[in-house]
Amino acid sequence: MTLGFLIYKIIFVLIIFAITLLVATYSTYAERKIAAFLQDRIGPDRAGPFGILQPLADAVKMFMKEEMIPSVSNRMLFIIGPGVCMLTACMTGVVIPWGPAMNIGGKVYPLQITDLNIGVLYLFGVVSLGVYGIMIGGWASNNKFSLLGAIRASSQMISYEVAMGISIIALVMTTGTLSLGQIAADQPGMHWNVFIQPLGFLIFIICAFAETNRAPFDLPECETELVGGYHTEYSSMKLGFFLFAEYINMFISSAVISTFYFGGYNMPFIARFVHDPNWLAVLGFVFLFTKISFFIFVFMWVRWTLPRFRYDQLMNLGWKILIPLSILNLLITGGWMMRSEILHFFIK
C-alpha cells in the first residue's frame, strides 16, 4: 500500500461522503418541492431563486433550536441513538461502485471505496445495524410513543429483511458473486438484472421502502398515531440527524437498487460512442446519478401517493405475501438455472 494509494482513497472517501451529504441535503428540498408539485402547490420558493437555499435555512434552523434532553431519559443512549443512525447510514456507501475504473498516468483508480468480495453481506450487516439507532433512541427517550415507534421500527425491519435477503439470494444465484463491483460490471449495455429478476426487483424495492421507513411503511414515525414515533422527544440537530439519516438511507437504497437491478453505471450503446476509459468513468458516474435521482423521485412519488399501512396489514404483507413470494422466486430461479439437469432427469 503506497502513500499515493492512501491519499487517493482518503480523497475519494471524502468526496463520496460530501456527495452523500449534499444529496441528502437536497433530497429534503426535493421532497418538499415534489410533494408540493404533486399537490398542485409550488413549494418553498423564498430562500434564493426557486428556494434553492432552503436546505441551508433548514440546517441553520435545526442548529439554532433549543437542545432538549428529557430528565427521565437515559442521557448517554439518548445522545448515541441519532449518532448510530447517522453512522450506519453513512457506512453503507462504501461498497457501492460509483463508476468504472479510471486510468490516470498508467495507474488504475477504481471509483469504488472498497470492492469487498462479500459486499452484499456487508451492506446487509450495516443496514440491519441501522435499526439500533432508532431502537436506542426510542428506548432512551423514556416515552411511550417513542418506545412504540422503536418497537414498530425494529419488528418492521426484521420482518422485511427476511424477504429482502431471500430476494437478494436469488439475485446472487444468477450473478454468481457477492461483490457489488462485479455485479455492476456484469450488466453491460442493456443486460440489466431487472429483466432477469423482475419479481425479485419488485420484492426488493418494496422491502427497501420498508427498510428506509418511508411511506407507505412509515409506521415507526407515523404522526397520526405516535406523535413523532421514535423521535418524539428529540429536538435540534439530534432530530435533524434522525431525519437526515433517513434521507441518506434513501439515497443509498436508490444507489443499491440501481446497482443491483438497473446496471449501476452501465448505459446501453454508450460503448459505441465513447472509447476513452476515463470519459466512460465520468459518464458512468453521471448515469448512475441519473438512475439514483430517478429512484429518489420514485421514493417521494410513492410517499405522496399512497396512504400508510395499518400495522397488521404491514405484518401480513411482510410475512404472508413477500416471504412466500421471495421463496417462490428463489425456487423459480434455481429451477431455471438447473433446467438442463432437470430436463435430463425426466427425459434421460
Partner 1 sequence: MQALTNRSKVVAKKEMTFIEKLYLPAIFSGMIITFKHFFRRKPTIKYPEQIRPFSGVYRGQHVLKRDENGAERCTACGLCAVACPAEAITMISAERKPGEENLYREEKYAATYEINMLRCIFCGDCEDACPKEAIFLTERKVDSLYTRNELIFGKDILVESRENPIDLSKRQTPQVKEFKHHKEFAHNVVFEKKK
d(CA 338, CA 330): 12
| Beta carbon nearer to partner 1, 100 or 216 | 216
In angstroms, how far apart are the furthest CA atoms of the chain?
Answer: 76
Would the CA dihedral through 246, 251, 256, 261 be positive or negative? Answer: positive
| Beta carbon nearer to partner 1, 38 or 315 | 38
Confirm if 137 and 78 have CB atoms less than 8 A apart. Answer: yes
| Beta carbon nearer to partner 1, 48 or 189 | 48
Q: Closest separation between CB of residue 46 and partner 1, Å? A: 9
Q: Closest separation between CB of residue 37 and partner 1, Å? A: 5
d(CA 98, CA 285): 6
Q: Closest separation between CB of residue 45 and partner 1, Å? A: 8
d(CA 68, CA 325): 45
| Beta carbon nearer to partner 1, 98 or 309 | 309
Q: Closest separation between CB of residue 246 and partner 1, Å? A: 21
| Beta carbon nearer to partner 1, 202 or 237 | 202
d(CA 160, CA 157): 5
- The contact set with partner 1 (CB under 8 A) reads 34, 37-42, 45, 301-302, 304-306
| Beta carbon nearer to partner 1, 105 or 307 | 307
Instruction: Note if the bond before 100 is cis, omega within 30 degrees.
Output: no
Q: Closest separation between CB of residue 316 and partner 1, Å? A: 12
Q: Closest separation between CB of residue 63 and partner 1, Å? A: 28
Main-chain dihedrals φ then ψ at residue 99, nearest 5 degrees? 180, 165
- CA-nearest of 217, 237, 214 to 62 is 237
Q: Closest separation between CB of residue 104 and partner 1, Å? A: 42
Q: Closest separation between CB of residue 268 and partner 1, Å? A: 25
| Beta carbon nearer to partner 1, 209 or 289 | 209
| Beta carbon nearer to partner 1, 51 or 82 | 51
